[in-house]
Every structure is written in C-alpha cells, then in structure tokens.
C-alpha cells in the first residue's frame, strides 16, 4: 500500500471486492465492465472493451478503483436494475464524456441536470435500435438519475461525497478521508472500526464513551456494517 500513498490522496482506493460489497454488485460484473471480456458468437470470438479506464493502474488481472469509478458503477448498476441494456449504457457513457468533458461523466453536475436528454441523444446519434424503448422509459431514466444523485454531494461540478447509509449525514464515503473507506462524518472514525469495537466491548454505549462520540453515530455505523454483511 505504501507505493500508492501519494496518488491515492483525494482519489480513494477500492478493490473490485470492496466495490462489490459497497454497491451490492457481483464481483464478476465489475471485472467484466471495467476489465473487458471476450465472448463467442457464430463461431467467432469478440472482445468487449472496458466501459472506461479506472483511475488506478491495473496490475495483471487485479482491478483497483478510485472514488469516481465507484460512483460511476453506482449509476451503471442503477441503470441495469431499471432494465437498460449495457450497450445502451455504453453509448450514453461515451456521449456523456463529450458533453461533460469528463472521463467519469455520470458523476458530474452536467449529468444530474441533463442525463435524460443525454441518454436520448446518444441513442439517436448511435442509431441504437433501443431509441423507441428509451423514449418510453424516459421518465424512468429521469427518476433513476434523481434517485441515484439523492445521497451524493456535489462540489465544483463533480460528486465529492457519498452518504451510503440511507442518505444520512452520519456516514460518508469521501476520497479525502481514509482512502475513501466508509467513515463517520465529523469524527472520521471508520465504520468498520466502530463495528469491531462494539463486538469486542459488547456495548454500543461503551464504544460511544470510549471514542467520545454520540451513541447515534455508533448505532448508525454498526447498522451500516451489518447491512453490508447482509
């Protein structure tokens, strides 16, 4: 980890397994989406490029992600959960990069305001056969974008913070803090540390007194870690 110390400041660090745990996505999906893959069709083998190049260098088959990668994946999951195909999402992503002038366009203020239009325009420009279906789903797309941005904080036109526990302010994921791992707002104590302390002490109240933080913060941290484990 020492070799990463300088570049990781303000970027965050997540393995594919970390991202899968935080976003509730199968690890294999993340590896396919960001590592590319091969598939066979009519006796021929084809290669699919990654949806985008992750912020951190790839070593052999290990995919390591930054905070912006994590948030882009959050959107990809939301769109696939809403029934959009990966081909359509890929078209939109490529077009959104041009519109937002960003390599991670879903996590920008521009996409927050113009995401639905970007989807429709990208399908039209690409000659995507799903354009008609997208027109039927445009209100669904708008709702998905609004819902996905609901627990994200934007600063300087890009997502800077994620509030992953029911959108509450107590727990945050911030690339400026503890390499982007989930931590408590204000107090900056990793949620996993509080959850483990509660296990060891056998009391949330005792841990709150030990760390000199509100009991509600300890309870949120424990509940959040339990939700990830589930």
Tell the residue number behind the tokens 């305001």, with chain if given: 113
CA distance 182 to 191: 6
Domain C-terminal end among 141, 162, 183: 162
Contact between residue 171 and residue 165 where contact means Cβ atoms under 8 Å apart: yes
pLDDT at position 7 is 57
pLDDT band at 128 (very low <50, low <70, confident <90, very high): low
175-224 pLDDT, tens digit each:
999 999 999 999 999 999 999 999 999 999 999 999 999 999 999 999 99
Phi, psi (rounded to 5 degrees) for 91? -60, -45
Does 122 lie in the same domain as 187? Answer: no
Beta bridge partners of 15: 64
Contact between residue 171 and residue 220 where contact means Cβ atoms under 8 Å apart: yes
Instruction: Tell me the two tokens of residue 135.
Output: 């027109």
* CA atoms within a 13 Å half-sphere pointing along the CA-CB vector of 181: 13
pLDDT band at 2 (very low <50, low <70, confident <90, very high): very low
CA distance 153 to 79: 20
Q: Record the pTM.
A: 0.91
How many structural domains does the chain have?
Answer: 2
Q: Which of 70-79, 126-135, 136-145, 206-215 is least confident?
A: 126-135
Does 178 lie in the same domain as 143? Answer: no
CA distance 74 to 107: 9
Does 187 lie in the same domain as 147? Answer: no
pLDDT band at 123 (very low <50, low <70, confident <90, very high): confident
Tell the residue number behind the tokens 């390591």, with chain if given: 64
CATH number for 180: 1.10.10
Does 100 lie in the same domain as 174? Answer: no
Domain C-terminal end among 115, 144, 162: 162
* CA atoms within a 13 Å half-sphere pointing along the CA-CB vector of 115: 25
* Domain ranges, residue 86: 2-162
Tell the residue number behind the tokens 């203020």, with chain if given: 109
């Amino acid at each position: 980890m020492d070799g990463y110390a300088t570049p990781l400041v303000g970027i965050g660090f997540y393995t594919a397994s970390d991202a899968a745990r935080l976003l509730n996505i199968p690890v294999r999906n993340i590896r396919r989406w960001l590592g590319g893959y091969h598939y066979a069709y009519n006796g021929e083998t084809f290669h699919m490029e990654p949806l985008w190049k992750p912020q951190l260098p790839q070593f052999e088959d290990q995919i390591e992600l930054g905070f912006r990668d994590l948030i882009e994946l959050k959107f990809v999951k939301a769109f696939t959960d809403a029934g959009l195909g990966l081909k359509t999402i890929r078209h939109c992503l490529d077009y959104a990069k041009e519109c937002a002038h960003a390599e991670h366009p879903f996590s920008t203020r521009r996409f927050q305001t113009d995401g639905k239009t970007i989807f429709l325009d990208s399908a039209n420009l690409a000659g995507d056969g799903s354009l008609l279906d997208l027109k039927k789903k445009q209100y669904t797309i708008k709702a998905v974008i609004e819902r996905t941005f609901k627990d994200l904080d934007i600063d300087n036109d890009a997502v800077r913070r994620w509030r992953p526990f029911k959108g509450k302010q107590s727990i945050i994921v911030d690339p400026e803090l503890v390499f982007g791992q989930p931590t408590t707002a204000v107090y900056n104590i990793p949620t996993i540390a509080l959850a483990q302390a509660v296990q060891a002490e056998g009391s949330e109240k005792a841990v709150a007194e030990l760390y000199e933080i509100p009991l509600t913060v300890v309870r949120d941290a424990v509940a959040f870690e339990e939700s990830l484990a589930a």
